[in-house]
Structure 1
Amino acid sequence: MTRSFTSLDDAEFNQLFRDFRYTAYRLETLQRYDVSYEQDEFARFLAGESRGEFPGIAAWCDTVRAAVSAGKRMHRVHVVVEPLSDYVRFECGWAYEHTVEAGEDVRLIVVSGDDWPAALPRYDYWLFDSSQLVAMYYDEEGRFVSGELISEPEKIVQANLWRDAAVSASIPYRAYAVQLQPSSP
């Protein structure tokens, strides 16, 4: 039986972030996500304002801090396409700065154009403790449509293989962020 979630606020979905015992891993593949809790900060970013507090991501940072302080690992790999979209520039310059400070291990695979890593799918998922897989589905504008808890063992094994390939091919966010800093005169 498959369990589906139609909201990122779904209680059962969010319980996965409290119940995992060792690792929570995310593969991100989109170049734009349209989520309500980031809209104000994204607008400020586009207006050229400086990075400051990020109230929209505070709850996520609390989740990360709680997990990390309990000895758990939260990590993600985002495949990013250069030149970076406005959203990915925002995510790198603002969102990831906060989540990395909270303890999340954020990593990137940087590609150009259509040079997608052959070993990776073009869809997002969460993998908890290498055994619970949630496929994440978005529309063309990057709005969350649904998540699906998948129980088929072969799909879970495949997600583990993708995770291993993505982590192996990635670089730490902070190593990439250095390149994004404007150079001093």
Structure 2
Amino acid sequence: MGRTFHSLADPEFNRLFTDFRYTAYRLESLQRYGVFYEQDEFAQFMDGQERGEFPGIADWIEGTVRPAVQAGKRMHRVHVVEEPLSDYVRFECAWSYEHTVAAGEDVRVIPVGRGQWPDGLPHHDYWLFDSRLLVTMHYEDDGTFALAEIVDDPEQIVLANYWRDMAVASSMSYREFASRHGGRFSPGRG
């Protein structure tokens, strides 16, 4: 294994999102993420408030997604989500995906029943940059970020490309997924 990052705010980790040349892909597998830059907003969502300022997502959109898309790069992700949706996934859809998709990120979803999983896909998150730089994302059981790790094993990189292609082929666009849910993910407890 290669370099590890113990903070999502690590400047070297964040350079991965500006230094890629063509594509940045993410597989998301959790039904709840407990990252520091969403805690206040998630609490507001759960209290039934409408979306207001969301600095964490605004920074992601203005500092990462929009510049990458304007430079002709592709940012895309597939999230395997269990239905019925967790409160966090509803929050992520309404307060994050709606806005990152509008900025040009290609967000895709694979809906599955609770406790089910798509055959052949891993149960862990990763980023794949330019089909050659693999970064596995590790989280605690409660969704708290633990560490990110650059993987330099060529076999694992090839496998991550295969998983990406399989996930994209098995997914639906975020917009299609949202329309299946009435186009709205209401704040408050589900």
Query: Normalization by structure 1: what TM-score?
Result: 0.95
Q: Matched residues in 1 for 2:89 and 2:122: separation?
A: 19
Query: Aligned residue for 1:41?
Result: 41
- Where 1:26 maps in the other structure, the secondary structure is strand
Query: Aligned residue for 1:72?
Result: 73
Is the contact between residue 135 and residue 147 of structure 1 (CA under 8 Å) also seen in structure 2? yes
Q: Matched residues in 2 for 1:39 and 1:180: separation?
A: 24
Runs of 5+ in structure 1 lacking a partner?
none
Q: Matched residues in 2 for 1:168 and 1:176: separation?
A: 15
1:50-91: per-residue Cα shift (whole Å, max 9, x none)? 233322211100110000000000000000001111000100
- Where 2:119 maps in the other structure, the secondary structure is coil
- Where 1:119 maps in the other structure, the secondary structure is coil
Is the contact between residue 42 and residue 87 of structure 1 (CA under 8 Å) also seen in structure 2? yes
Query: Aligned residue for 1:59?
Result: 59
Runs of 5+ in structure 2 lacking a partner?
185-190
Q: Matched residues in 1 for 2:180 and 2:51: separation?
A: 17
Q: 124-133 vs 94-103, which deviates more? A: 94-103
- Where 2:44 maps in the other structure, the secondary structure is helix
1:20-74: per-residue Cα shift (whole Å, max 9, x none)? 0000000000000001111111111101112333222111001100000000000
Is the contact between residue 93 and residue 177 of structure 1 (CA under 8 Å) also seen in structure 2? no
For residue 182 of structure 1, report the CA deviation from its aligned partner.
Answer: 7.1
- Where 1:118 maps in the other structure, the secondary structure is coil
Query: Aligned residue for 1:159?
Result: 160
Q: Matched residues in 2 for 1:178 and 1:74: separation?
A: 22
The equivalences for 1:1-185 within 5 A come to: 2-62=2-62, 63-181=64-182
Number of residue pairs aligned between Structure 1 and Structure 2: 183
- Where 1:97 maps in the other structure, the secondary structure is helix
Query: Structure 1: which amino acid aligns with 2:83?
Result: E
Q: 1:117 to 1:182 in 2, by over 3 A?
A: closer
Identity of aligned residues (%): 64
Q: 120-129 vs 10-19, which deviates more? A: 10-19
Q: Matched residues in 1 for 2:11 and 2:86: separation?
A: 32
Query: Normalization by structure 2: what TM-score?
Result: 0.93
Q: 52-61 vs 134-143, which deviates more? A: 52-61
